[in-house]
Each structure stands twice: as structure tokens, then as C-alpha cells.
Amino acid sequence: MRRYSLLAALIVLAFVMLFPFLLVGLNAFKSPAEYSSGGPLALPDGIYLDGIVAFWDRVDFGRKLWNSLLISGCVAVGAVALSVLNAYALGIGRVRGRLWILVVFLVANTLPQEALVYPLYYLAKQVGLYDSRLFVILIFVVIQAAFGTYLLSAVLGRFPAEILEAAAIDGASKWRALWRIVVPISRPTLSVLLIFFFIWTWNEFFLPLVFLISNDNQTVPVALGVLQGDRLMDATMSSASALLGIVPAVVFFLIFQRTLTRGITVGAIK
Amino acid sequence: MRSRGYWLYLIPSLVLFVGVIVAPFLMNVATSFTRWSGVGTPEWIGFENYDRLLKDERFWASFQHNVALILAMAVVPTLLGLVLAAALFDYIAKKFGPRTASALRAAFYLPQVLPVAIAGVVWGWLLHPSYGAVNEIFGIDVNWLGDPSIALATVMAIMVWFQLGYPVVIFMAGLQRVDPALYEAAEIDGASWWRRFWHITVPQIRPEFFVVLLTCTIAALKVFGPIFVLTRGGPAGATMVPSYFSYLNFFQRVNVGYGSAIATVLALIIVVVTFLFLRVQERET
């Protein structure tokens, strides 16, 4: 009996954790009339898509998805490239003062974005990059690379020196050795970083909220976050908006699950 | 000989880091000593903003809320996560199979895959005062996020829900390292589950324990998205936090100097907390 009571308690807890997702899934497909007559727990009579379609059109959700994909994708690639260059110098090149450089990167990674936002906002306005996706990409490339450099330097610090020596004897330049030897061999670590940077950037809210103000440039979390509690939203439309925010996140998790669960302890250093 | 010339590879980063992090941060610190609305020339006022900060009740209240959120986002999830991870690893996985354990772990983890702002969107709907599902289901009429006496508690509960999966997953991964023979030997010796938890599980995942506590504490100090989405710091400042307080001063009250002072203090606190944690961790492990 005792054996099952702990299991039962954990199942109840799991149900509580999943309950919000179930409610969103259940009510996003109802009509407002169905919601007010049957309440949030009733099963929908059929698949009513008008709430989702209406919300999708209202916020031009396809556009937001594209913005989020574009920004997160560019940041992931850019930040990995920058991390590789840094880690090549720090981990393999062992340049002087590398410990201090790493500390600077680590501090940069823990700084709150609030302490950077206003000067960045001011600069963006001066150079005409306010409300531009390019500017947000640039900022996040640097922020994510701060973490990537820290992690990748440790990994490349253990890179077998004989391989690079052999390449140097064969006359390969440093630049060639980096792209032909170091990058291909480190591919597994780089792909973990790529996925993490993509998801972290997708999840960002504060800086995109400040810098992407026009409807054409907003990301998914910003568009949905700003509209939450809007007077023009009814119960089922709110549910539909929550669903549209949940689905991409869960899809990414399912696609990248194996890499993520392997790398999650890596991410813990962040 | 080979180690010459590698510093060239740091040049792109040097330029970008100075432009995006170092210079803006120093500008923020400099602005904190001025009175400035964002246009025109900032007026140098020395420590006046910091002086005002120390006397500002809303600022102190926002830090108290931050402490409450550290409890909700770091302390409670870490302790609860420790017990859950140990229960899943040392009991459920053995008695009911590893698949049951990983299914439960996945359920606990699911909220963590959401962008934190989307978690706010989900709960904003569930707790909506006029049509929210929670009130409808229980047939009650509670203004969860609009009543100043319970708004902070509501936000705290939401953040526990959001954070819980992270320590569970990290701790379970850490427990994979533990030699199963250790548990078996303890079991043969008749050690109770609680004793195994206290003498094997806890000491083994000490490093993870510190990392989780540190990362969650920093996340709690930085919290912005859920506050923006759920309450905008209200009602009547009941859920105001420093990050949102600085945002408000920057972009709505155009008190840029004051906002910069808040952001500088927040940055200082976070850096100090990080160093303290790293020191303690070094001594402990």
C-alpha cells in the first residue's frame, strides 16, 4: 500500500503541472458560446478553429513566427561563430591573460540587460537601427557568445595538440586548421551550442520588447505578451493565443529533445 | 612557437563586446549620476539618484518582492526538486521501472520549455478575473492578480510551477554519476530511504545543488517577463520588482538617470551574489 501512495502523490503532482496545458488545449478549440455554457472543463463539441484563425490574423502570427525564426536562427549561427573564434584563441592558442578574459566574459553573461538597455536604445536611435531586427540579432550574438566562449574554451582546452602540430608541419595555416580540423572535430559540442542559443533567443522577452516596437518586427513572445489581458480578447481567443505560444516551444523541445537532455547540464552553468 | 598570433582571433569579439556590453554598461553607470530625460544634455547631480533610491519606499518594496521571488524561483524549487529527483531515482525507477520515472520527470519539466513570457500568457488567461478558467472551475470569484493582498503570492505560485522541472532534471542527471553499488550496499545494511537520501543523494549532488541555486537566484533577481505580462508591477505596486521599476523609469517616466541608478544597483547585487556563491562552492567542494 505504501508503495503505491508515493506513486499516486507524484502522479497527482504531475497532473497539476500539466493541467494548465490541458486547459489551454481544451478551450482553444471552443466557440465563446460553448465556453460560457459548458465551462472550461467540458469537451469541445467539435473542432472550432475560428478563435485560433481570428487571433492568427489579428496579430499576423505567421509574420511573428518568421521574425522569431529569423532572429533566433541568425543569433545561433553568429554566436557559435564568434564563440569558436574566441575559444580558438583562448582554449587552443592560450593567449596571455586568458583567465582574465574569461572572467570578463562570465561577468558580461551575468549582467542584467536592464543595465545595458538605455544606452543601447539611445545608440540605436542615433544610428537609425531602432526597431530593427538586425540590431537585436547583433546584441544577442554578443550576449550568447559570452556564454559560448566560456564553455567552448574549456572544451577546446582539451583538444589533442598532436593533430594541430601535424597540420602545422603539413603547412596548414591557423585559419585553415580552425575550419578544416578544429570545427569538424568539435561538431557535437557546436551543435549543442547552436540549439541552446536558438532556444534561449526564442525565449527572450525584455530586449525584443524594447527594441522591436512595430508589428512587422515583433517576435512571438513579445506579440503575445503585450496582448495578454487585452480588452478585445474573449476567453477562447485568450486560450488560442496561449496555445500559439506553447506549440512552437513544445515542437522545438520534441525535435531537439535528445540534444537538450544531454546538454541541459551544460546549460546549467549559465 | 605556435601560440603566436592567436590573439588576432579575439579582435571581432573585442570590437563587438566593447560596443554592445562594455560601453553601454559604463554609459549606464555614468548616466546614473545625472538627471536626464533622454533628450538634451544630461545634468550632473552626483550621488543624488542613489540618495533618493535609499529613501524611496517603492525601491525597498521592490527588493522585498525580489526576495520573495528568490524563495519562489530558487529556494522552493531546489528543495522540492531535490526530494522529487531522489524519489524518482531511488524509488520510482526501481519499483516501477525507469520509464515511469522519466514520464513523471517529463511532466514536471514541461513548463520549463515555455518562454517565460508565454508562461505568463497561459496563467494570465487561467486567472483572468472575468472569464478565467480557475475561477470558473472552482465556482469562486477571486481576483488573483488584481487584489494587492494576494497578487504577489499568486505570482510566486506561478513561478514555482514554472521553475520546478529544472532542478528535477539537473539533479536526476547528477544522480546518474552515483555508483549504484552505494545504494545497494546501504539498502542491504537496512538504511531507510530517508537515510539514503541524506547520506548518499545529498552529498553526491552537491555541485549541482550550488549551480541550480545560483542560476535560479540570478534568474529571480532579473525577473521581468512574467511581471510585465501578468501585473505590470501592480496592483498598487504589490508586485513591483527592480527590473520592472527601472524599465518604468527609463521608458514611461523618462527618469533615465534614476532608472540607470536602479539598474546599476541591480547589476552590482547580481555580480556580488555570483561571486559569493562561487566562493562558497569552492570551499565546499
Say if the Cβ atoms of A93 and B117 lie within 8 Å: no
What residues in A contact B242, CB-CB < 8 Å? 114
CATH of the domain at B147: 1.10.3720.10
Q: Please compute the mean of the pLDDT values over residues A33-61 and round it to a whole number.
A: 86
Please give the mean pLDDT across all residues of chain A.
88
The residue of chain B nearest to residue A83, with distances taken between CA atoms, is B13
pLDDT score for A267: 47
Q: How far is CA B46 from CA A34, B58, B262, B263, in A?
A: 61, 22, 15, 16
The residue of chain B nearest to residue A111, with distances taken between CA atoms, is B267
What residues in A contact B91, CB-CB < 8 Å? 6
Distance from CA of A62 to the nearest CA of B (A): 17
SS3 assignment, position B102: helix
Say if the Cβ atoms of B126 and A95 lie within 8 Å: no
Distance from CA of B263 to the nearest CA of A (A): 5
pLDDT score for A266: 52
Rounded CA-CA distance A265/B103 in Å is 19
Domains in chain B: how many in total? 1
What residues in B contact A246, CB-CB < 8 Å? 114, 118, 122
Say if the Cβ atoms of A113 and B222 lie within 8 Å: yes
pLDDT score for A103: 87
Say if the Cβ atoms of B256 and A118 lie within 8 Å: yes
Q: Is residue B16 part of a domain?
A: no
List the domain boundaries for chain A: 1-48, 61-267
Strand partners, B34: B44
What residues in A contact B218, CB-CB < 8 Å? 110
pLDDT score for B25: 96
Instruction: Give the ranges where chain B is alpha helix by DSSP (H).
Output: 11-17, 23-31, 48-55, 57-70, 76-87, 93-96, 98-109, 116-126, 133-138, 151-163, 165-175, 180-188, 193-196, 202-204, 206-222, 225-230, 242-251, 256-284
Looking at residue B258, its amino acid is: Y
What residues in B contact A10, CB-CB < 8 Å? 84, 87-88, 92, 104
pLDDT score for A99: 87
Domain A61-267: CATH architecture, name and number where available: Orthogonal Bundle (1.10)
Please name the member of B13, B132, B264 whose beta carbon is closest to the beta carbon of A85. B13
Say if the Cβ atoms of A203 and B115 lie within 8 Å: yes
Q: Is residue B76 part of a domain?
A: yes
pLDDT above 90 (res A263): no
Torsion of CA A237, A241, A243, A249, to 10 degrees: 180
Please name the member of B31, B103, B124 whose beta carbon is closest to the beta carbon of A118. B31
pLDDT band at A232 (very low <50, low <70, confident <90, very high): confident
Q: Is residue B15 part of a domain?
A: no
Query: Is the N-terminal amide bond of B235 cis, ω within 30° of 0?
Result: yes
Say if the Cβ atoms of A17 and B271 lie within 8 Å: no
Question: What does the DSSP assignment read for chain A?
Answer: -HHHHHHHHHHHHHHHHHHHHHHHHHHTTS-HHHHHHH-TTSPPSS---HHHHHHHHHHTHHHHHHHHHHHHHHHHHHHHHHHHHHHIIIIIS--TTHHHHHHHHHHHHHS-THHHHHHHHHHHHHTT-TT-HHHHHHHHHHHHHHHHHHHHHHHHTTS-HHHHHHHHHTT--HHHHIIIIIHHHTHHHHHHHHHHHHHHHHH--HHHHHH--STTT--HHHHHHHHTT-TT--HHHHHHHHHHHHHHHHHHHHHHHHHHHHHHHHHTT-
Which residues does A188 contact at the CB level (< 8 Å), separation at least 6? none
Q: Is residue B94 part of a domain?
A: yes
pLDDT cut 90: percent of chain A above it: 49
The residue of chain A nearest to residue B83, with distances taken between CA atoms, is A10
Say if the Cβ atoms of A242 and B116 lie within 8 Å: no
Q: Is residue B8 part of a domain?
A: no
pLDDT band at A264 (very low <50, low <70, confident <90, very high): low
pLDDT above 80 (res A229): no
Rounded CA-CA distance A64/B217 in Å is 31
pLDDT above 70 (res A262): no
- Which residue range(s) make up the domain with B39? 32-284
pLDDT above 90 (res A247): yes
Say if the Cβ atoms of B124 and A122 lie within 8 Å: no
The residue of chain B nearest to residue A251, with distances taken between CA atoms, is B113
Distance from CA of B11 to the nearest CA of A (A): 9
Q: Between the ranges A2-16, A256-270, B58-72, where is the mean pLDDT highest?
A: B58-72
pLDDT band at A268 (very low <50, low <70, confident <90, very high): very low
What residues in B contact A143, CB-CB < 8 Å? 20-21
ipTM: 0.90
Torsions phi, psi of B18, nearest 5?
Answer: -65, -45
User: What is the number of CB-based contacts under 8 A between chain A and chain B?
Assistant: 267
What residues in B contact A93, CB-CB < 8 Å? 3, 5-7, 9
pLDDT score for B252: 92
Query: Which cell numbers hold the place of A109?
Result: 553573461
Say if the Cβ atoms of A95 and B271 lie within 8 Å: no
Rounded CA-CA distance B110/A15 in Å is 11
Q: Between the ranges A32-41, A205-214, B5-14, where is the mean pLDDT highest?
A: A205-214
Q: How far is CA A199 from CA A69, A75, B108, in A?
A: 10, 10, 19
Under-70 pLDDT residues of chain B: 1-3, 284-285
Please name the member of B100, B211, B251 whose beta carbon is closest to the beta carbon of A268. B211
pLDDT above 80 (res A3): no
pLDDT band at A269 (very low <50, low <70, confident <90, very high): very low
Looking at residue B223, its amino acid is: V
Which residue did the predictor score with more confidence, B217 or A165?
A: B217
Q: Is residue B133 part of a domain?
A: yes
pLDDT score for B182: 85
Q: Is residue B180 part of a domain?
A: yes
